[in-house]
């Protein structure tokens, strides 16, 4: 019985540590966007499709990398992981996934814009 309990305890510890080792990023609200970009000197990344970007994007976005596209991982690997990034999409789900991928690839300061461009109240640029 002692061996069984120790095995269960060991598996539980491994599970807990693996959950805590997951990539981390911070989710910010639209009201925090400008302050975070300014304070962190953050690069703004739009992870939507080309068609969505063509309809308009958040002013200041300089990196456009479709998280569902085949080149997303290759594109983020060209970026400096020591810099800060604010990531957004249409509503926040794809940018959360992109933020997770970036964090897992060594990016330390990644901010996901909650609500995406739909919840953004600032200036939208039309190409």
Residues noted as catalytic: 89
Q: Give the residue from 84, 85, 40 showing the smallest Cα distance to 67.
A: 85
What is the residue whose two structure tokens read 């794809």?
94
| Closest C-alpha among 54, 126, 57 to residue 86 | 57
- Cα 12 → chain centroid: 29
The rounded distance, in Å, linking the Cα atoms of 95 and 99 is: 6
Please answer whether residues 66 and 47 qualify as being in contact, where contact means their C-beta atoms are separated by less than 8 angstroms.
yes
Residues 92 and 114: beta-carbon distance below 8 Å: yes
Structure tokens at 18: 């693996």
């Amino acid at each position: 019985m002692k061996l069984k309990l120790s095995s269960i305890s060991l598996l539980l510890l491994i599970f807990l540590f693996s959950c805590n080792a997951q990539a981390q990023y911070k989710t910010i609200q639209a009201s925090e966007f400008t302050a975070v970009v300014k304070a962190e000197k953050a690069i703004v990344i739009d992870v939507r499709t080309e068609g969505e970007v063509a309809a308009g994007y958040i002013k200041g976005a300089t990196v456009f990398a479709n998280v569902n596209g085949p080149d997303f991982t290759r594109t983020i690997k060209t970026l400096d992981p020591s810099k800060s990034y604010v990531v957004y999409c249409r509503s926040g789900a794809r940018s959360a996934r992109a933020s997770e991928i970036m964090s897992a690839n060594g990016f330390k300061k990644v901010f996901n814009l909650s609500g995406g461009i739909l919840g953004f109240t600032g200036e939208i640029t039309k190409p």
